[in-house]
A = this chain, B = another copy of it.
Amino acid sequence: MSTVQLVSEDSSHPIVRRVFDDIKATKKIDHIPNIWRALATHPEHLELCWTRLKAIMAPGRVDALTKEIIALAVSATNGCNYCINSHTAAVQKLGLTLEQLGEVLAVVGLFNQMNKLADAFQVTPDILPKDW
């Protein structure tokens, strides 16, 4: 159960109204996901989060599917249940197959292991990026 009462999808608060309508239009969905209804308890924060997410997730030099794959990799590494579900649904909707999901998660698992081994041995960085 959420720690705040979720704001109604029909809220008439002007900021909430504007953001909720934009979420529906942008994501082409007809309901407001719970995370946005929770954030709406502080309308200014809701708007900051949404406008920033919208800007960052818009396809640019990196495509939408890759962005959602990154979101899933981060969410799995952090163990966030809500986000794992929602980003798994998102990559699926964008066409990732079950076989590809298996490959993505294999990489996520692998580097969660390798990160800890590199830390555990305290190895000094020796592979550095060049000037871009």
Taking Cβ atoms with an 8 Å cutoff, the residues of A that contact B are 1-6, 33-35, 38-39, 41-42, 44-45, 48-49, 52-53, 55-57, 60-62, 66-67, 69-90, 92, 97-132
Known: A5-B132, A77-B77, A132-B4. A105 touches B84 (CB 8 A): no
Least CB distance from A18 to B in Å reads 17
Question: How many copies of the polypeptide does the oligomer hold?
Answer: 6
Least CB distance from A116 to B in Å reads 4
Contact yes or no, A85 B115, CB < 8 A: no
Least CB distance from A81 to B in Å reads 6
Contact yes or no, A98 B132, CB < 8 A: yes
Q: What separation, in Å, do the CA atoms of A123 and B79 have in the docked complex? A: 12
Contact yes or no, B114 A76, CB < 8 A: no
- B contact residues around A67 at 8 Å (CB): 103, 107
Least CB distance from A96 to B in Å reads 9
Known: A55-B48, A66-B66, A66-B69. A112 touches B115 (CB 8 A): yes
- B contact residues around A39 at 8 Å (CB): 117, 121
